[in-house]
Amino acid sequence: MLIKYLFKYISKGTDRIAVHIPKPVGEHTSADTEQNPNVDEIKNFVDARCICPYEACWRIFNFPIHYREPAVQVLAVHLKDMQLVKFCSTQHLKSVVNNPVQKKTTLAEWLFYNRNSDDGKHLTYLDFPLEFVWVDNEKRWKRRRNLNRPSIGLLTYMHPAFGEVFYLRMLLCHRKGCGAFEDLMTVNDHVHSTYREACLAMGLLGNDKEWLTAMEEASATTTSSQLRTLFSHILIYCDVADPQKLWKQCWKLMSDDIPLRVAASFHMSKIYINSTGLESYVLYELQILLHQHSKSVSDFGLPKIPQHLVDDLQNRLIMEEKKL
């Protein structure tokens, strides 16, 4: 907070005051003029600044007021073919799509540079600005002439809830010399299907012991319905390294009320459900909770819900929307 205060304070500019000059010194006005004054607000307005003699001398000689050292290069983070494209409303959409320059970003050009050259493969994406400079008007990386004045790379912030793009950002801090997005997912000559799996294979993710402990402690005092709500919140708002493993360890804790729910829906006093069916019904209830946050069990790699429960789920969601 102290650094923020000092930075904001010294960069706020000089003290300013708006003054009004009613008449020049020594000018005499008649009584008629005072009764019906001709007010020119634009002419009377003076934007005055109060500065000391030292600052006045500094500004007269056009010395720099402030500067940043070293420079910071903001690095884009996006999934494959998911980069942000900026264009004017007057431009034709086809011309924008067919223009390859529009698709160029610092990340895409870093991969392109590594595919065609070997002099930057010893650097990660985050460290690339140390020896290379981004030419904004040409949208390409160029080797830095003066290595004594490097830039600092700054990756765009991504929340863990963003999913795959968050794990891609994590990989970009550790992988070197990648020439394609597939190279980022390759660990020990094995191409993983997701960036999360690649991070897990590299040991970049911690274990989920704290989430398992939270579920076990809560199971002693809460109902199964509350446990499912807690589990959905952990998936959505917390950084779970391996949701599939956590699900296998916790789904039975959330299944105590399932037989009663199913028996009530079939108007039966008692019903037997095997382990596979019990897990499917817990997934069914979990999907309803995740749907409220625009999420799905498939977003976290959890087992698929059987088709007959999917159809029932769609009908239930439609009926709830009609009630609203």
Q: What is the pLDDT of residue 322?
A: 47
In whole angstroms, how large is the CA radius of gyration of the chain? 32
The answer to the question of residue 246 being in a domain is yes
314 and 253 within one domain: yes
Higher pLDDT, 9 or 157: 157
> How many domains does the structure of the chain reveal?
3
What is the tens place of the pLDDT at every residue in 199-236?
Answer: 888 888 877 888 899 999 999 889 999 999 999 999 98
196 and 106 within one domain: yes
3-state secondary structure of 190: strand
3-state secondary structure of 301: coil
Higher pLDDT, 146 or 224: 224
187 and 214 within one domain: no
Tokens of 44: 């009377």
The answer to the question of residue 90 being in a domain is no
247 and 171 within one domain: no
Tokens of 210: 């704290």
Identify residue 27 by its one-letter amino acid code: E
The answer to the question of residue 187 being in a domain is yes
Mean pLDDT of 121-140: 92
218 and 193 within one domain: no
pLDDT bucket at 324, cuts 50 / 70 / 90: very low
CA distances to 145, 157, 269 from 148, rounded to whole Å, are 9, 28, 79
| Residue of 161, 176, 129, 138 whose CA lies nearest to 235 | 161
User: Which of 48-62, 131-145, 180-194, 217-231 is least confident?
Assistant: 48-62
Helices 224-237 and 275-291 pack at an angle, to 10 degrees, of 60
Tell me the percentage of the chain whose pLDDT exceeds 90.
30
Specify whether the backbone of 294 is left (phi greater than 0), alpha (psi in -120 to 50) or beta. Answer: left
Domain end residue (candidates: 201, 226, 253): 201
Structural domain including 58 reads 1-23+39-67
Q: Look at the block and give the residue holding tokens 């360890």.
A: 249
CA distances to 12, 15, 44, 45, 49 from 18, rounded to whole Å, are 17, 11, 10, 7, 9
| Residue of 231, 104, 82 whose CA lies nearest to 162 | 82
193 and 116 within one domain: yes
The answer to the question of residue 110 being in a domain is yes
What is the tens place of the pLDDT at every residue in 4-22?
Answer: 555 555 555 656 666 666 6
237 and 173 within one domain: no
Evaluate if residue 32 carries a pLDDT over 60.
Answer: no
Alpha-carbon distance of 154 to 288, in angstroms, equals 38
The answer to the question of residue 89 being in a domain is no
309 and 218 within one domain: yes
pTM over 0.85: no
The residues that bridge with 176 in the sheet, in sequence order, are 124
The answer to the question of residue 113 being in a domain is yes
Evaluate if residue 117 carries a pLDDT over 70.
Answer: yes
3-state secondary structure of 112: helix
262 and 155 within one domain: no
What is the tens place of the pLDDT at every residue in 75-106?
Answer: 999 999 888 888 888 888 888 778 888 888 99
What is the tens place of the pLDDT at every residue in 170-187?
Answer: 999 999 999 999 999 999
Tokens of 304: 């698929």
